Amino acid sequence: MISNQSVEYQLTERIYRDPVHNIIRLRTDTDEGQLMVRLVDAREFQRLRRIKQLGLALYTYQGAEHSRFTHSLGVLHLMTRVLDRLASQYKITEEDRAAARAAALLHDIGHGSFSHVMEKVLGFHHEAWTVRAVLSGETEVGQVLRSYSEDLPERVASIIEGNFKPAALAQLVSSQLDVDRMDYLLRDSLMTGAKYGIYDLEWIINALQIDEERDRIFVAARGLYAVEEYLQARYYMFRQVYFHRTLRSAEAVLRSALRRALELLESGHEVWCAPGTAFSKVLLRQPLTIAEHLEMDDSDIIFHIKQWQRSTDALLSDLARRFVGRSLFKAIDLDMPEQERASFLSAAREVVERAGFQPEYYFIEDQAGDVPYYSYYTAEGADAKARIYVEDGYARPRIREISEVSEAVRGLQRYQLHRVCFPPEVKEEVYKLYHQAETPRSAAGAND
């Protein structure tokens, strides 16, 4: 027999078991709670189950199978906790709270297949698609938001774009210290098995404050060391996980296959694709509607690449086979002086070409120009609303930008990622050239 108390419990919340946060609860007995549940159940959000959070990281870390769906639920959970904490000290209206929670939940719905890989090939940014999805009257999420309040889609879009007032709430969704980063560092660290992303989440949440005079988030003095740990975790996760050589070489193979397919079609050659699908329009470089963009996920790309293994074009067939069978390129970090680097690249490119591989597809320079922005914290050139502010001192506290206070943050070393990826068939010759370069570096830059 089920007690009345148990029935009430079942009817007032929905529970998700989560590997990072243990239990994520969504209230179902309030209008705001019902809004969150309906957004989670919307088709566009459910699509995130079919997009890997870390793209091709599972080629390196076999446990990295988690999705954008699980991450986004985690971000909502953290936003709810932070808002509950701040509401004990500051006035946050019901409308602002609902908008902030919805923005946290929906911040990734515009992502393309394999997260950031497709963005680089096709030249789009997921945030633009996210805003379109939120504002559209054709999407389920847009309709759900508007059914809650007529101006909610615009408010959510404003938070995602960073134009929302109060700005402090927008900073919780997108800044250098936001609930998005807080979740993915812990989640990616757990799922990859790499321990670099662990930091004191609870103490950061406890120390978050709002500077009402300047409308910004800051961290109380007691939370300084926890934020230092968070920034160091982010730094090492990028260096050791997000920009792992094998992961990046897998992306290089995928990008080469997609570029080959696009170039074949542009030159009038036939490339198989499922007719009438959104991905067929992508290959033909035709603009997509919001519905078509949100129709695609990782499975569309994998399905087509599996078919391309039988392509009559030898290049496309080979690249597709390498990707499907995980016969990836090798990669070397070019940690050498500029002059020697240019000489090495020229000689290595010749080796690849002599072996019968077209360098434009099989000799890929990976410079990852977005590394400095994402991997280490810097106040230089950053918008003030994206910076991290902390309270300095206890007796006469004042709010300062964190690098003015923390030697640990100032000590995060800048680095430039510059690698070259090439077929394993020529690795011995390329490695030989690499070791012959006259530099004081260690030979450990070559990686399997």
Each domain of the chain, given as residue ranges in start order, spans 4-242, 245-370+416-447
What's the pLDDT score for residue 315? 98
Residue 354, beta-bridge partner list: none
Q: Is the Cβ–Cβ distance between 74 and 26 less than 8 Å? A: no
| HSE-up of residue 149 (Cα within 13 Å, Cβ side) | 13
Q: Which two tokens stand for residue 266?
A: 């542009």
The answer, yes or no, to whether residue 250 has pLDDT greater than 60, is: yes
Task: Name the residue type at position 431.
Answer: Y
The answer, yes or no, to whether residue 308 has pLDDT greater than 60, is: yes
Residue 370 pLDDT level (bands cut at 50, 70, 90): low
Name the residue among 320, 298, 297, 295 with its Cα closest to residue 307: 320
d(CA 166, CA 390): 19
Instruction: Give the model confidence (pLDDT) of 316-343 as tens digits.
Output: 999 999 999 999 999 999 988 888 899 9
What's the pLDDT score for residue 375? 63
Summarize the chain as % helix, strand, coil (round to 5): 60, 10, 30
| Phi and psi, residue 237, nearest 5° | -65, -40
The percent of residues in the chain predicted with pLDDT above 90, rounded, is 80
| HSE-up of residue 135 (Cα within 13 Å, Cβ side) | 13
d(CA 294, CA 296): 6
Does 4-242 match 245-370+416-447 in CATH topology? no
What's the pLDDT score for residue 369? 59
Give Cα separations from 43 to 38, 47, 142, 144, 373 (angstroms): 10, 6, 11, 11, 32
Residue 367 pLDDT level (bands cut at 50, 70, 90): confident
4-242: CATH class:
mainly alpha
Residues 6 or more apart in contact with residue 150 via CB below 8 angstroms: none
Sheet holding 330-333: strands in order across?
364-366, 419-422, 330-333, 446-447
d(CA 128, CA 333): 33
| CATH number attached to the domain at 245-370+416-447 | 1.20.1250.30
Instruction: Give the model confidence (pLDDT) of 340-357 as tens digits.
Output: 899 999 999 999 999 999
Residue entry with tokens 């890997």:
52
d(CA 81, CA 413): 32
Q: How far apart are the first and last CA of the chain?
A: 60
Q: Which range is least confidently modeled, 112-126, 127-141, 281-295, 310-324? A: 112-126
Residue 208, beta-bridge partner list: 219
Length in residues, the chain: 448
Residue spans of beta strands (DSSP E) within 290-351: 330-333
